[in-house]
Structure 1
Amino acid sequence: MLSTYTYPEFAFVRPPELDGVPSHRRPVVVVGAGPVGLSAAIELAQLGLPVLMLDDDKTVSVGSRGLCYAKRALEVLDRQGAGQPVVDKGVTWNVGRTFFDTEEVFHFNLLPEAGHERPGMVNLQQYHLEEILLKRVAELPGIELRWLSKVTQVEPHGQGASLCVSTPEGDYTVDTDWLVVADGARSPIRRLLGLEIEGKVFQDRFLIADVVMKADFPAERWFWFDPPFHRGQSVLLHREADNVWRIDFQLGWEADPEEEKKPERVIPRIQAMLGPEHAFALEWVSVYTFQCRRMQRFRHGRVLFAGDAAHQVSPFGARGANSGLQDVDNLGWKLKLVIDGVAPEALLDSYSDERCVAADENILNSTRSTDFITPKSATSRLFRNAVLGLAREHAFARALVNSGRLSVATHLSGSALNTPDAEPFEGWMAPGAPMDDAPVDLPGGAGWLLRQVTAGADAHFTLMVFGEGALPVLPTTPVPVKLLRVLPAGSAPRDGAVVDREGLIARRYDGRPGTAYLLRPDQHVAARWRHLEPAPLQAALRRSLCLH
C-alpha cells in the first residue's frame, strides 16, 4: 500500500473460448501490459489493426520503478494520445547537477536551445504512466485486454504462433499471425522459446527509497559522488509526482538486500542526507542489481520482442523504458505495412537491425556510466576521483564526468532503409536522424512541427518541401505520401503548409527553397534532396520499404 496512490484492480473477464466458442485467429497478440506492451497495442490500434492483449496480473506495476521519460519518448506518447497527461501529471526538468563530496563539479541542460514542445525529461512513477496508457487503451475500439491471462506455451510456425493461455477458470488456446512480446526483463516467453539474452550483470546493489516530503529543492537531477552523508558511495535524488522523492543509495555488492530494505536501516540513511529540517515518510523501498544485455535478434519469425524482454540496461541514463517506447515507434508502422501486404516481411528484419543498433548504443553508454559510478578496482577509483577533483576547475575534466548519459533518440545513420545524400547539407538532420521539433503557425493558430508529421491509419510517409516552388508530377507510390510545405516566417498559413515562425525549421534542416525531406512514419529522416525529382523519390520510398 502507498499513501499517495491507490492501486486499481482489474477484473478477470471469462473469455468465450472457455465456454466452447471457437477462438478466431488474431492478426496480432501483444503479451505484457507494462508501458511497452500498452504502447504497442495503442500504436497498432491507431494504425487500424485489432489487438488482443494478455497480461498475467490484474493491476499496474508495483512501486515507482521506471521514472524518467525523455523528450523523444514524450513525442512518441504524443502521437499515441498520451503525452499531455504524462506531462501534466509528471515533474518536468532539464538540468542535472553532479557533486563530489559537497561541491558541484558538473551540470548539464538536456534542452539548451528553445523551440521544442516537450522538455528534456519528465519524471513520473511507472504506475501513473501505465494508468494513463490504460485510459487510452479503453478509448480505442480495436484493443481487447485480458487480465489474469498467463501464456504458458508458445508454438511458433511459419504463419504465426499458437499460444496456450492459463486463467483462473481454465486454459484455452489462441492462434495469431504475429506475436509481440513485451513481458519484461525475465520474459517467460523468451524462456519458453529457449532464446538467449547475453551481456553483463554488474556486481553492485542500490537501494531505492521513495519518500513523501514537502521540500523546496528544484526539479533537477542531483547526483553525489562520495557525499559526507554516504561516504565512499554514490547517491541520486529525483523529484516525482505527488510530493514523492526518489533517493538511490549505492550499497555495494556485499550488502544484504533484505536487511537493507528494513526501515531501521533506511530511515537513518535518509535522515543523514536530508538533515533534521525535512520531515518525510517512507513510501516504497526496494534493492536492485542491474545488467546490460540484449538478445542477438529481436525478430524470430513472426515473434517480435520489444522493451526489457529484448534488451536491458542499468538505470543510469533512463534508457530502459525510453528505449522500449522507441522500439514500438519503430515496429508499429512496419508491422502495419507488412500485414497490409504493402511491404515484404524483410521490413521487419530492419526493425531488429535498427533497434539492435539502438540497444548497443544504450548498453555502451549505460556500461560506461556504471563503470564510472561503481569502479571495481583501485586504479579505476583513483581515475574516477581524479576526474572529479579536476572537474571543479577544468572544463576538459567535466567532459569525463559520467553520472549517467541520459536517454536521447538514436540516429539510425547506418540503416539500410536510408537513401544517402547526393548533395551537401549542413546540420544533423541527415538520413536516419529523428526529426527535431520547432514552433509553427497553422491556419488555426500556433502549433508544432512534429504534430504535423504523424503516421495516420495508413502509415503514410510525409514529403516536407521548403518554399512555394512548383513540384514535379509525383509518381505513383507504394504507400501514401502526405505533402507538407514549410513556408517562411510572415507567410499566410494555409492547409497543407506550416509557417516557420522563428526560422528554426530552415536552420535545423538546412531548408533552402526547393529542399525536400522524405520522412518515415516514425519521424525519422529517410532521404533529402535539394531539388525533388519523381524517380529519386520513388526509389527512396521503395528502399524504405525493402522493395528495392
Structure 2
Amino acid sequence: MHQPDITPRASLYYTYRVHPHFFSATEPSRVPVTIVGGGPIGMVTALALARHGVRCVVLQAEQQVSEGSRAIVFTKRSQEILQHVGVADAVCAKGLPWRCGNSYYRGQRVFRMESPVDEDDRFAPLINLQQNVLEGFLVDAIEREPLVELRWGNKLMGVTQDDNGVMLDIDTPDGTYRQATDWLVAADGARSTVRSALGLRFEGNSYEGRFVIADIRIDLDLPTERLAYFAPEWNPGNTVLMHREPDGIWRVDYQLPADEDVEHALKPETIRERIDAQLAMMGLAGKTWELDWCSVYSARALTLPDYVHGRILFAGDAAHLLPIFGVRGANTGFQDAIDLAWKLAAVARRAAPEALLRSYTHDRVGAAREIIEEAGKSTRFMTPPTHGHRLLRDATLALSIDHAFVRPLFHWRTSRAHDYRHSPLNSPDDDNARMHAGPVVGAPLPNLRLGENDYLYDHLGAAFHLLSFSDSPLNAAVQDEIAKWRARGIAVTVIAFAPTRHAGVPGADLTLYDATDRALQKYGATWGSAYLARPDHHICARWQTLDADRLATALAQATSHSARAFQE
C-alpha cells in the first residue's frame, strides 16, 4: 500500500501544504486524458488541455509539492507559456528577473553575456523562482479549474493499452483502484514509471561531471545575475555556478571531484567546508549562512526517439533529460506541454485525426535533438568528459585572461524557443519564401506592445490565430472558410491590425490600431499580408495576400486533415 510522507517538508522560505489523498472504492468513470506526474510539466499540460475544453485527471504520488528549489530559471518563452495557463502574474510578482551572466577565471571576469531585450517583450529574458513555489502557483490554478482533477497520493503501479484507450492500476494510502482513460500523458520525470513499463530506452549521452546543488539563505549585496567560476583554487579543474533566488536564498552548484562518492559529498560538514571556501574566494570569508536543501546532479543529454506510443504520450523529463547548463530542463518541458496540449485536445475532441499526434514527435524530438547538440557544447566546456576536452578547455581558460577573442567560447547557449521550420504542419504553398523580413514559418509569434500593460499575447487564446494586416473587411469567402473550420471544432480567432482607428474590421474578432506601422514592421508585412499561428503560438503559414483556398490548405495541413500531412 502506497504511503507517501505526510510530514510537511522543512524549508527556510516555503511553507509546504499536505493535501488530502484521493481514493475511490469503485472504479471511477472513464476520463478523456490522464496525466501521470504532478510536477510543473504535468500541471501545465493539464491546464493547457483545460483551456481547450478537455477534462483530465492528474496523478501525483506525493501529497505535497516537490522538495527543494530544483528548476529555478525560466525563460521569456516559458513565461509566455505560463501566461497561457494563468500563472505568469504570480510568477512575475514573486520571481527575480535578470538578463546578464558572468564568467570568472583566476579572480578575473573573462566573459559577460547579456540577453537581448526588445521593447515589445512583456517578460524579462530570464526569471529566477524556485520550482516548489511555481508548483504551488500551478496547484492554486488547478484548484480554480473545474476541468482538472489533481489526485494527490496516487501512485501508478501498472499500465496496459489497446486501440481504444489505456487502463491504469493505481495505489493509494487506502488501497488500489483502476482508472480507464482514452489517452495517457507520461510526465512522471526522469525515473518514469510509464517509460519503464513500456520498456523504452533513451538515446544520447551521459556525462561524468556531477554537481552538488545547494540552496543557502545568505544576505549578499549582489545583483541578480548568473555567476560562473571556472577552476577556482578550492575546486581545481572544476566549475561553480551561483544564482540569486527569492526570499534571501542563493543557489550554489559546484562540481565534484571525479572520485568522490555522493554520501561524502552531501555530509553537512563537507558542504559547509566547500561553500565557506567559495565565499572566501569571493571576498566574503566569515559570512553566515544556513543550508535549506541540497542534492546531487549529473549532466545527461538523452531523448526518446519517439514521444507517441499508441495512446501513451511522453513529455518533460519522462521524454528527455537535458543538461542544466543553459536552463534547458523545465523550459524545454513547457514547450512540450503547450505543443502536446493543443494537438491532443484536437484529437480527443475528434476535431482532428490521430495522425496529428505524429507531428508532436516530429516537432519535439527534433527540438530535443537540436538542444542536445547545443547543450553538449556547453556541457563539454563545463564538465570536460575526456582528457582531450579538458586540455582544450584549460587552454581556453588560460588564453581568456589576456585574449578577448577566445572569451565568447564561455557562452552558455541559453535555452530558446524552438523554430519548427520543418514541421509537417507548415503550409506547403504559402508566401514564406517570398517574404524576406519578419518571423518565418515555424517561429513563435513575436509579441507586440500595444499600450500601457497591454500586449498581443494578452489577447491570444486556445485557438488558431489569423493575423490580418488590413482595415478592409475580411473577404467573404475567407469568412465562410473560417466558419466551416469552427463548425468542425477547430477554433480560429481573427485579429486585424488596422492603420487607422477602427470601430472593428468586419469579420475580425479583435481589431488593433497600428498607426505607426510598428506591427507591420515587426512582422515584415505590407498592408494585405496575413499570418496564421497554431494554438501553441508557432506560425504555420504567412501570405502577402490571403485568399480562402490557401487558408483552407493551411488549416488542413496544420490539423493533419490534408493528404500531404498524413504522409509525413
Question: So what's the TM-score if we normalise by structure 2?
Answer: 0.90
Equivalent residue number for residue 207 of structure 1: 212
User: Which digits, 9 at most, give the CA deviation of each residue in 1:333-379, with x for residues without a partner?
Assistant: 11111122221100011011101011112211221111111113343
Q: Equivalent residue of 2:424, what SS?
A: coil
CA distance in 2, matches of 1:466, 1:277: 62
Kept in 2: contact 1:152–1:164 (CA 8 A) = yes
CA distance in 2, matches of 1:425, 1:389: 46
Query: 439, 443, 449: which one pairs with 1:429?
Result: 439
**CA 1:181/1:415 → structure 2, altered by over 3 Å: closer, same or farther?**
same
Counterpart AA for 1:485: A
Kept in 2: contact 1:70–1:407 (CA 8 A) = yes
Query: 491, 500, 517: which one pairs with 1:480?
Result: 491
**Structure 2 gap segments, 5+ residues each:** 1-9, 563-568
CA distance in 2, matches of 1:424, 1:389: 47
Counterpart AA for 2:474: L
Query: 392, 407, 413: which one pairs with 2:415?
Result: 407
Question: 1:2 offset after TM fit, Å?
Answer: 1.6
Kept in 2: contact 1:440–1:501 (CA 8 A) = no
Equivalent residue number for residue 468 of structure 2: 465
Equivalent residue number for residue 351 of structure 2: 342
**CA 1:547/1:105 → structure 2, altered by over 3 Å: closer, same or farther?**
same
CA distance in 1, matches of 2:39, 2:517: 40
Question: 1:388 offset after TM fit, Å?
Answer: 3.4
Question: 1:190 offset after TM fit, Å?
Answer: 0.9
CA distance in 1, matches of 2:128, 2:201: 32
Counterpart AA for 1:483: V
Kept in 2: contact 1:31–1:182 (CA 8 A) = yes
| Aligned pairs, number | 535
Counterparts of 1:30-41 in structure 2, within 5 Å, are 30-41=35-46
User: Which digits, 9 at most, give the CA deviation of each residue in 1:400-441, with x for residues without a partner?
Assistant: 224x32111100001011125435223451111011112014
Counterparts of 1:112-191 in structure 2, within 5 Å, are 112-191=117-196
**Structure 1 gap segments, 5+ residues each:** none
Q: Equivalent residue of 2:410, what SS?
A: coil
Equivalent residue number for residue 315 of structure 2: 306
Kept in 2: contact 1:469–1:513 (CA 8 A) = no
Question: 1:142 offset after TM fit, Å?
Answer: 1.1
Task: Find out whether 1:85 has 2:90 as its counterpart.
Answer: yes
Counterparts of 1:244-263 in structure 2, within 5 Å, are 244-263=249-268
Counterpart AA for 2:520: A
Equivalent residue number for residue 28 of structure 1: 33
CA distance in 2, matches of 1:277, 1:464: 59
Counterpart AA for 2:548: P
**CA 1:428/1:100 → structure 2, altered by over 3 Å: closer, same or farther?**
farther
User: Which digits, 9 at most, give the CA deviation of each residue in 1:286-323, with x for residues without a partner?
Assistant: 12213111111100011111100000111111111111
Task: Find out whether 1:358 has 2:367 as its counterpart.
Answer: yes
Question: 1:252 offset after TM fit, Å?
Answer: 2.9
Counterpart AA for 1:410: H
CA distance in 1, matches of 2:390, 2:28: 59
Question: 1:503 offset after TM fit, Å?
Answer: 4.7
CA distance in 1, matches of 2:237, 2:333: 33
Q: Equivalent residue of 1:399, what SS?
A: helix
Kept in 2: contact 1:439–1:502 (CA 8 A) = no
Question: 1:381 offset after TM fit, Å?
Answer: 2.2
CA distance in 2, matches of 1:228, 1:481: 59
Equivalent residue number for residue 282 of structure 1: 291
**CA 1:502/1:374 → structure 2, altered by over 3 Å: closer, same or farther?**
farther
Query: 438, 449, 471: which one pairs with 1:439?
Result: 449
Query: 30, 51, 54: which one pairs with 2:56?
Result: 51
CA distance in 1, matches of 2:246, 2:151: 29
Equivalent residue number for residue 328 of structure 1: 337
Q: Equivalent residue of 2:208, what SS?
A: strand
Kept in 2: contact 1:440–1:447 (CA 8 A) = yes
Task: Find out whether 1:271 has 2:276 as its counterpart.
Answer: yes
**CA 1:13/1:51 → structure 2, altered by over 3 Å: closer, same or farther?**
same
CA distance in 2, matches of 1:31, 1:448: 34
Question: 1:161 offset after TM fit, Å?
Answer: 0.6
User: Which digits, 9 at most, give the CA deviation of each residue in 1:215-242, with x for residues without a partner?
Assistant: 1110011111112443321110101111
Counterpart AA for 1:451: D
Counterpart AA for 1:454: G
CA distance in 1, matches of 2:191, 2:392: 35
CA distance in 1, matches of 2:52, 2:177: 28
Counterpart AA for 1:430: V
Query: 222, 227, 237: which one pairs with 2:242?
Result: 237
Kept in 1: contact 2:435–2:524 (CA 8 A) = yes
Question: 1:14 offset after TM fit, Å?
Answer: 3.0
CA distance in 1, matches of 2:438, 2:378: 25
Q: Equivalent residue of 2:189, what SS?
A: coil
Query: 324, 327, 350: which one pairs with 1:318?
Result: 327
Equivalent residue number for residue 545 of structure 1: 559
CA distance in 2, matches of 1:64, 1:500: 43
CA distance in 2, matches of 1:73, 1:501: 30
**CA 1:493/1:384 → structure 2, altered by over 3 Å: closer, same or farther?**
farther
Equivalent residue number for residue 20 of structure 2: 11
Counterpart AA for 1:213: I
Kept in 2: contact 1:518–1:528 (CA 8 A) = yes
Equivalent residue number for residue 565 of structure 2: none
Q: Equivalent residue of 2:15, what SS?
A: coil
CA distance in 2, matches of 1:451, 1:392: 46
Query: 219, 222, 225: which one pairs with 1:220?
Result: 225
**CA 1:112/1:382 → structure 2, altered by over 3 Å: closer, same or farther?**
farther
Q: Equivalent residue of 1:85, what SS?
A: helix
State, as a whole percentage, how many aligned pairs show the same letter: 37
Deviates more, 1:322-331 or 1:1-10: 1-10
Question: 1:277 offset after TM fit, Å?
Answer: 5.4
CA distance in 2, matches of 1:217, 1:74: 24
Name the Cα RMSD after superposition.
Answer: 1.8
Kept in 1: contact 2:502–2:511 (CA 8 A) = no
Counterpart AA for 1:224: Y
Counterpart AA for 2:89: Q
**CA 1:493/1:271 → structure 2, altered by over 3 Å: closer, same or farther?**
farther
Q: Equivalent residue of 2:247, what SS?
A: helix
Kept in 2: contact 1:221–1:236 (CA 8 A) = yes
Equivalent residue number for residue 108 of structure 2: 103
Kept in 2: contact 1:28–1:52 (CA 8 A) = yes
Equivalent residue number for residue 301 of structure 2: 292
Counterpart AA for 1:433: A
Q: Equivalent residue of 1:134, what SS?
A: helix
Question: So what's the TM-score if we normalise by structure 1?
Answer: 0.94
User: Which digits, 9 at most, give the CA deviation of each residue in 1:98-127, with x for residues without a partner?
Assistant: 122211122222233332001111111110
Question: 1:51 offset after TM fit, Å?
Answer: 0.9
**CA 1:504/1:319 → structure 2, altered by over 3 Å: closer, same or farther?**
farther
Query: 508, 511, 523: which one pairs with 2:537?
Result: 523
Counterpart AA for 1:432: G
